[in-house]
Amino acid sequence: MMDMAESPRLSVDLAAMARLMPMYAWVTADGRLRSLGPTLAKICGPRAVPGMPFLDLFRCLRSACAKGAAHLAAAQDDRLAFALRDNPDTVLRGQVVSLGPGQGMLLNLSFGISAAEAVAAYSLNSSDFAITDLTVELLYLTEANAAVMGELAALNERLLRARNRAERRALTDSLTGLSNRRALELSLRRLTQGGFPVHERRQIVDAADISGFAVLQLDLDRFKAVNDTFGHAAGDHVLRHVGMTLRAETRLTDVVARLGGDEFVLILPGFTDPQAVMKLARRIISRLESPIEYQGQMCRISGSIGIALSSDYAIADIDRMLADADAALYMSKHEGRGQAMLHRLIREDMPAGKTENARIQDVSPG
């Protein structure tokens, strides 16, 4: 058994030192560089040359260097810490041992827990560290963690897209791509700023609390004849064409919904001028009356529209507005179809104690 007290001498060439300790610094007794390991040389850059003072490259973060690098040998039992002068964010930790008379001292340095940041900052890889260095394990763990986090992020993105698609399907009419009844009700809640709990369909708010909007109820005319004459496939084709027409005539901020069959509702935020709303309604009817080709046959339909304006109500009661727009729609059909009628509330000169009267009118010019 070897007696360690004999202090046997060991000779190691610099190439072997570089493999075992790629972040070593061999420093003379008076604190000047003799040699650097390849990884430490890469970090320090071209200005790290033999003969320069060690503390011109590094700032000691512990009291052991307070009197200069020549006193490092006295700190053999201490945990040392240094910061690069050119990059104070890079902190190295290590230990120093004395090499004996005339040989100076040897420092073995490491990044510690900041290895991942240093690897990124100096473009290092596993070959820049000794195989036994725990930094290599840390790098593998960091890469594995990055891979797992990347996969989790991708999975979350896929789940989010799937959820968005499911929500869109739940709020979309499958035939026309327009909003469905549920989407319409949600839009009306948002438009009236949700004065009541979500589970309550009826929404009542002060008209002053909302920007004005128009409600249009649309039913197709002569649509049954299309189904009876050309079949339901033709009817579906016509409904899809109507959906495209309504989207083309409205804005992205408008809500266009199919309630089922040939019934549609349009919500137009900001529309409170009767003339402007009627102009849009008549333009929609005109486009609907253009022949629609289906398998060489021409399908002809029209549309009747009833309109209610929020500006006509002291209290914007959505259910009432929808009912009034429906009443105006009924009058449009009664008057010969292919028309737009506006439901107006009459308050002028209303006797005290009397309820509001209503009239249905066509306010379009001519």
Whether 128 sits among the annotated catalytic residues: the reply is: no
Q: Tell me the HSE value of 284 on the side-chain side, using a 13 A CA sphere.
A: 32
Extract the tokens encoding 176. 């026309």
CB-based contacts of 157-161 (< 8 A; 24+ apart in sequence): none
**291 three-class SS:** coil
The whole-angstrom distance between residue 364's C-alpha and the CA centroid of its chain comes to 45
Cβ atoms of residues 111 and 134 within 8 Å: no
Q: In this structure, are residues 135 and 115 in contact, taking their beta carbons and an 8 Å threshold?
A: yes
Measured CA to CA, the distance from residue 281 to residue 215 in angstroms comes to: 11
Residues 191/256, Cβ–Cβ less than 8 Å: no
Place of tokens 């910061």: 83
Q: Which of 133, 173, 262, 312 is catalytic?
A: 262
Nearest in space to 301 (alpha carbons), one of 348, 241, 247, 345: 241
Q: How does 131-158 read in b/e, with b if 16+ C-beta sit within 10 Å?
A: eebebbebbeebeeeeeeeeeeeeeeee
Give the integer Cα–Cα distance in Å for 341 and 250. 19
**279-283 — which CB contacts under 8 Å span 24+ positions?**
279/364, 280/249, 281/216, 281/305, 281/307, 281/340, 282/340, 282/364, 283/249
Closest Cα to residue 217, out of 119, 319, 316, 352? 319
Q: Would you name the residues annotated as active-site residues?
A: 262
